[in-house]
Amino acid sequence: MREQELANQERLESQILKITEFVTANDLATMMGVEVNKVISTCMSIGMMVSINQRLDAETINIVAEEFGFKTEYVSAEVVSAIEQVEDKEEDLVSRPPIVTVMGHVDHGKTSLLDYIRNANVIAGEAGGITQHIGAYNVKLDDGRRITFLDTPGHEAFTAMRARGAQVTDIAIIIVAADDNVMPQTVEAINHAAAAGVPIVFAINKIDKPTANPDKIKESLAAMNYLVEDWGGKYQSQDISAKKGMGVEDLLEKVLLEAEMLELKANPKAKARGSIIESALDKGRGYVSTVLVENGTLKVGDIVVAGQYYGRVKAMFNERNGKIKEAGPAAPALILGFNGAPQAGDTFNVFDTEQEARELANKREQLQREQGFRTSTRVTLEEIGRRIAIGNFQQLNIVVKADVDGSVEALSDSLIRLSTEQIQVNVIHKGVGQISESDVTLAAASDAIIVGFNVRPSLAARKDAEKEGVDIRLYSIIYDAIEEVKSAMEGMLSPEIKEVITATVEVRETFHISKVGTVAGGAVKEGKIKRGNKVRLIRDGIVIYTGELASLKRMKDDVKEVATGYECGLSITNYNDIKVGDIIESFEEVEVKQTL
């Protein structure tokens, strides 16, 4: 009886997921032992578009866990409550600039629009003209009003980053090229903005092109239930040319009109609170984080905590690398001083003492480590059974390093998505900064390859990699990294054997020769029979025997091949029962490379 009680208790405990506030969709799936696709489809059924590496909030985690019969227990409650939220007094609130995210498909002109607005050239710094980082820019208009812009990448790999972009923003500009269509990434961007409850302004770009057709775009949007104002709907839309600056002023007017309706206010006297937009490891300056202040004023010397990292703000810069002393509400800033690289999307808070900050950061780090243990996959019996059933199951382990956190997330996300039934892609470690010796040691121990994005290995790491035979691949464009890993996976698949029929021979005469056996005389009806071919003997449409050619002759001479229309003599190895009227089919076995 006691044993049964213990067993029941154990079963109930196994149904409780102990989690920190944020876990990714992938981690949640691992903890529940279900496929990540099922978790994503559950999120979609409640109107949330999520990607594999996107962290979920507590409410979503509860709904998804309940769907699969699990209960949730948050081990981070005391950590969350450690940050006290002070209510702002009405008289302290002042209006703040809107935070605007520019979203849309790759190459539809997001960066060109920002370039025109900022009178600067961002494109020059991007590989292949593709934005691969999130940038935050504060723009002052001619009439003195300010707008903060977030530039989020358009490539599909950056879903996680774009999702975060939509969560810190007040208004979303969805840019669509008038000479193209509403692309899947554009639809995804609209969904992210709608899910975050953010007002949308459509910018129809490239209207100066002869092939531009803005009405076609408006029609596509109408089909998705997004009726623009020109067509009697409620969504603001503006035809623009980002390169020539046509209609950009009107677009900004419409954005500011939306902002006025939102009545955005903040308290500049409060302790600063905001989001981490990006973080990177700079060789000369240490960890550098781009932050966006949402409330309060961040000053040099403040003690900040973001995720499991903390530090004192040593220096602050604006987006043009000019030194600043403080950043008010809705202002982006580059800060130095964190003891690590916080994740893009983390919230930062200012604390009074360093001790408080250190304690909270340490608690969070401990929770993170616990979470890591819980979400590490152990191979279950079912999984071993599945792998045996599939046969040649393979695993590709990858260590991902990149220059900034957003790219690490995006690249890991895309590589995990490449997993198939036969090959599983595991990202065993991901981090910001150059490729170090410990990365190479980890890769060597787990037979992994190292993928570096905009980073290089240290000299010692390069030497270690050569000695250990660890493959380090370096990239500056995300498409290339994904394509090459996919090609590597295709190389891991064992080739399929495919049969190709080379000839059909009709037997017209048979001869019995001692010491040789039965020799058939026949005519090649189609194709070309070759000496190295395998053959099948077919009688009345039924395969009687499959074997190899023993000899192939033309007249009395041995030949390598006989073509259509010619007669030949042939014998089959260890088989003599050949009769007149039989059909002999020759075939080759060709290896065909499998593709994903």
Per residue in 10-39, pLDDT (tens digit) is 555 566 776 766 677 877 887 777 888 888
CATH of the domain at 432: 3.40.50.10050
Condensed to tens digits (0 to 9), the pLDDT of residues 314-352 reads 888 877 777 888 888 888 888 888 888 887 777 788 888
Same domain, 502 and 389: no
Are 203 and 101 in a shared domain? yes
Q: Confirm whether 179 is domain-assigned.
A: yes
The pLDDT of residue 574 is above 50: yes
Taking residues 142-152, what's their average pLDDT? 75
- Which residue, 131, 148, 130, is CA-closest to 139? 148
Contact partners, residue 389, CB within 8 Å, separation at least 6: none
Structural domain includes residue 268: no
Q: In terms of DSSP bridges, do strands 135-140 and 567-572 run parallel, antiparallel, or are they unpaired?
A: unpaired
What value, to the nearest 5°, has the Cα angle with vertex 238 and ends 237 and 244? 155
Cα–Cα distance between 579 and 577 in angstroms, integer?
A: 7
386: enclosing H helix or E strand: helix 381-390
- Nearest in space to 42 (alpha carbons), one of 29, 58, 57, 30: 29
Residue 129 region, left (φ>0) first, then alpha (ψ -120 to 50), else beta?
left
Q: Are the beta carbons of 465 and 450 closer than 8 angstroms?
A: yes
Residue 125 shares a structural domain with residue 256: yes
- Rg, C-alpha atoms of the chain: 33
Q: CATH code at 256?
A: 3.40.50.300
Higher pLDDT, 456 or 26: 456
Q: In this predicted model, what pLDDT tens digit does every residue of 60-112 receive, in sequence order?
A: 888 888 888 888 776 654 455 456 566 666 676 778 888 888 887 767 777 77
Residue range 225-265, pLDDT digits in tens: 788 777 777 888 888 877 777 878 888 888 888 888 888 88
User: What was the pLDDT predicted at 591?
Assistant: 75
Single out the residue of 317, 304, 316 nearest to residue 275, CA to CA: 304
Q: Which pLDDT tens digit goes with each residue over 196-209? A: 677 888 888 888 88
Q: 233 is written with which tokens?
A: 């709907």
Is position 87 within any domain?
no
530 and 486 in a common domain: no
Query: In terms of domains, do 349 and 399 share one?
Result: no
CA of 95: how far to CAs of 3, 260, 461, in Å?
65, 9, 51
Tell me, yes or no, whether 400 and 452 share the same domain.
yes
For all residues of the chain together, what is the average pLDDT? 78
The answer to whether residue 455 is domain-embedded is: yes
Rounded-to-integer distance, Cα 340 and Cα 357, Å: 14
Predicted pLDDT at 154 = 45
In a domain, 527, yes or no: yes
Residues 493, 421: Cα–Cα separation, whole Å = 11
Q: How many other C-beta atoms lie within 10 A of the C-beta of residue 261?
A: 10
| Residue type for position 522 | G
| Burial of residue 125 (number of CB atoms within 10 Å: 0-12, 13-18, 19+) | exposed
Q: How far apart are CA 300 and CA 76, in angstroms?
A: 30
Last-in-domain residue among 492, 516, 536: 492
Q: Residue 503: its pLDDT value, please?
A: 92
- CB 593, CB 538: distance < 8 Å: no
Yes or no: say if 361 and 309 are a contact pair by the CB < 8 Å rule.
Answer: yes
pLDDT at 531 over 90: no
Give residue 521's pLDDT band: very low, low, confident or very high (50, 70, 90).
very high
| Structural domains of the chain, count | 5
Q: What percent of the chain has pLDDT over 90?
A: 5
Residue 520 contacts residue 578 (beta carbons within 8 Å): yes
pLDDT for 374: 58
Backbone torsion region of residue 262, taken as left when φ is above 0, otherwise alpha when ψ lies between -120 and 50, otherwise beta: alpha
20: alpha, beta or left? (left if phi > 0; alpha if psi -120 to 50): beta
pLDDT at 133: 47
pLDDT bin (cut points 50, 70, 90) of residue 522 is: very high
**Same-domain status, 353 and 387:** no
Does the pLDDT at position 138 exceed 60?
A: yes
- The more confident residue out of 474 and 22 is 474
CATH number at residue 322: 2.40.30.10
Residue showing tokens 């570096």: 452
Residue 291's pLDDT is 85
Per-residue pLDDT tens for 354-367? 888 888 888 777 77
Reading the block at residue 422, the tokens are: 């036969």
Looking at the predicted structure, is the pLDDT value of residue 417 above 70?
yes
Report the percentage of the chain scoring pLDDT > 70: 81
Residue ending a domain, choose from 221, 244, 263: 263
In this predicted structure, the answer to whether residue 170 has a pLDDT above a threshold of 70 is yes
Q: Which residue has the higher pLDDT, 11 or 410?
A: 410
CA dihedral 438, 444, 446, 449 (to 10 degrees): 90
Q: For residues 219 and 119, state if they share a domain.
A: yes
Q: Is residue 91 part of a domain?
A: no
Domain carrying residue 356: 273-372
Please tell me the predicted confidence (pLDDT) of residue 507: 92
Asked whether the predicted pLDDT for residue 457 surpasses 80, the reply is: yes
459 or 55: whose pLDDT is higher? 459
What pLDDT, on a 0 to 100 scale, did the predictor assign at position 161?
47
Residue 182, domain member (yes or no): yes
570 beta partners = 520, 552
* pLDDT tens, position by position, 260-313: 888 888 888 888 888 887 788 777 788 888 888 888 888 888 888 887 888 888
- Give the end of a domain, one of 467, 492, 517: 492
Q: What pLDDT is recorded for position 13?
A: 54
- Is 85 part of a structural domain of the chain? no
Residue with tokens 């370096």: 474
Residues 218 and 138 in one domain: yes
| pLDDT value of position 513 | 85
Q: Name the 3-class secondary structure at 298.
A: strand
Together in a domain, 330 and 363: yes
Do residue 277 and residue 258 come from a single domain?
no
| Residue carrying the six token digits 């409550």 | 81
Report whether pLDDT(505) > 90.
yes
Asked if 284 and 368 sit in the same domain, the reply is: yes
